[in-house]
Amino acid sequence: MADTAAPPPPAPTRKSRSTAATEPVVRVRRIHRRDLNKVWDFLKLCFRTVNRETVEYQRPRSKKRFLEVYEEDGVEQLLFEVAAGPKSEIVGYAECAIEIIGSDNWMNERYFANRDMRPLFVEELAVHPDYEGRGVGGFILSQLEHLARVRACTHLVLEVAENNKRALGFYRARTFFRLDAAIFLAKKVAIEHELLAPRKLKPRKSDVDAENAKKGDGSGDGAAPAPKTRAAKKRASSASSGGSKA
């Protein structure tokens, strides 16, 4: 029985060729000083929602720190753009370094050295909210893995907030695994106010003296009755003795 060859794929039509030509393409380039303000605004947009729900900021804490990173040696800052008419739109950003950067970084270098790991540290990875699910994140990771291989790094290492479920799912689907069990802990403490409750003032001494004087001369409310005269006492005594005889 003669083998039947599979039919050749249909030739692309004029419509399919024109559609492919107009499909947006993501391009990667290194950041330039003129991009800094645009990229800062882009990062604020990307992390606006997650930063409302996390203890640690998931992007640089201040624009000052972000501008300092640009001046540091050994840090790669990559922009991922899509052409939008005559201009281009930032759809992704990545920041990475072979060495731990920043004086506020808590990373322990000996952890990696003791495990024969030479990481490429991914300090930042952001995708424009309007382009999520369109392959931008995957392209960024491919670029970072390429840099890691070129520079003889053995791992990509990054930090993700525990409650950022979408990001965790994205990384785990790409074989990322958890390195450490460190998490933030909190304990509720019974509150005691620093300032005491209101307290009544004692009356002025002059007011107390005046009140005592009123009580002493019987002119005040509830003053004691005036003492009986001698005649009144005699009449009261006679009436009492007369009643007992009866």
Mean pLDDT of 12-33: 75
Q: Is pLDDT of 80 > 90?
A: yes
Asked whether residue 101 is domain-assigned, the answer is yes
Q: What is the pLDDT of residue 235?
A: 67
Whether residue 217 is contained in a domain is answered as no
Asked whether residue 219 is assigned to any structural domain, the reply reads no
CATH code: domain of residue 156: 3.40.630.30
Specify if 214 maps to a domain. Answer: no
The predicted structure's pLDDT at residue 237: 66
How many domains does the chain fold into?
Answer: 1
Residues 213-236, mean pLDDT to the nearest whole number: 63
Q: What is the pTM of this model?
A: 0.65
pLDDT, average across residues 92-121: 85
pLDDT score for 62: 83
Which two structure tokens, joined as six digits, stand for 116?
């024969």
Is 37 within the bounds of a domain?
yes
All residues at 6 or more sequence positions from 77 whose CB lies less than 8 Å from its CB, including other chains: 30, 31, 39, 69, 70, 93, 94, 95
Q: Is residue 197 part of a domain?
A: no
pLDDT, position 163:
75
Above 90 in pLDDT, residue 203? no
Backbone angles phi, psi at 240, to 5 degrees: -70, -40
In a domain, 102, yes or no: yes
pLDDT at position 216, please? Answer: 76
In a domain, 205, yes or no: no
Q: What is the DSSP secondary structure assignment for residue 5, as one 8-state letter?
A: P
pLDDT exceeds cutoff 60 at 109: yes
Residue 45 reports pLDDT greater than 50? yes
pLDDT of 54 > 90? The answer is no
Mean pLDDT within 91-116: 84
Task: List Cβ<8 Å contacts ≥24 apart for 97-106.
Answer: 97/121, 97/123, 98/74, 98/151, 98/153, 99/74, 101/69, 101/72, 101/74, 101/75, 102/65, 102/69
Q: Where are the beta strands (DSSP E) in 38-99?
A: 75-84, 87-97
Residue 85 or 18, more confident: 85
Q: Are 58 and 167 a contacting pair, CB within 8 Å?
A: no
Determine the 3-state secondary structure of 85 from DSSP.
coil
Domain range for residue 65?
24-172
Tokens representing residue 155 in the block: 């791992």
In whole angstroms, what is the distance from residue 119 CA to residue 149 CA? Answer: 11
Which segment of 15-29, 103-117, 138-152 scores lowest on mean pLDDT? 15-29
Beta pairing, strands 155-157 & 119-127: parallel
Q: What letter would DSSP give residue 55?
A: S
Worst-scoring range by mean pLDDT, 48-52, 70-74, 186-190, 213-217? 186-190
